[in-house]
Chains A and B, each alone.
Chain A
């Protein structure tokens, strides 16, 4: 069964460092998403991406965040200068439509720890 894969599964970084989280969505999907879940808290929407551009973003997704689909298969989330409060589990998801009949398929997440 096709699945969304994420790397790394866990990354530890120093505050102020840049981090890139990678995702390989399901190959025929058109919509891509990043979510964040701070430990013990709810899952929060960060950004959606379609047709090589951001289609929707939340207030969390400020200038230190960026997304890119560099090569037609990977979908990356970059955090330019990490802060302690960026420590969270980051989930990538993809879907073939906007949710009318499809569903979001989630990866297993990348845990980011900022020291």
Chain B
């Protein structure tokens, strides 16, 4: 069994300030973890992924995430928010044995000027 909990349904930051989107997971297996972003009326775009290599993962657009097994967390961060970062963000866990993926409920990021 696996599950994903995104701890904040909405996050609002000012442009130029740090972003933190929180994700906790549970999995019976060693999971692969992903963050996807969805801009309005668009498909899902991969931001970054963790697949048992380095625990600090760097993605596109300045985002990064750290896999912490002891805390079962995979929080997404960015040092300085940009207006174009406003979107819906999904944390995803994939059971690599079964190929089954579970999405978190999503976090809506708002960036204020």
Contacts and interface: CB of A to CB of B under 8 A. Distances in A.
Interface of A: 31, 33, 35, 42-45, 48, 50, 55-56, 91, 93, 98-101, 103-109
Contacts of A108: 42-43
B34 A100 contact: no
Interface residues of B, number: 25
Nearest to B46: A103
B103 A98 contact: no
Interface of B: 32, 34, 36, 42-46, 49, 51, 90, 92, 94-106
Give the interface SS of chain A, mostly helix, strand, loop or mixed.
Answer: strand
Given A42-B106, A106-B44, A101 B51 contact: yes
Contact of B32 (A33, A100, A105): A100
Contacts of B46: 103-105
Given A103-B49, A106-B43, A56 B98 contact: yes
B100 A48 contact: yes
Contacts of B99: 31, 48, 50, 55-56, 98-99
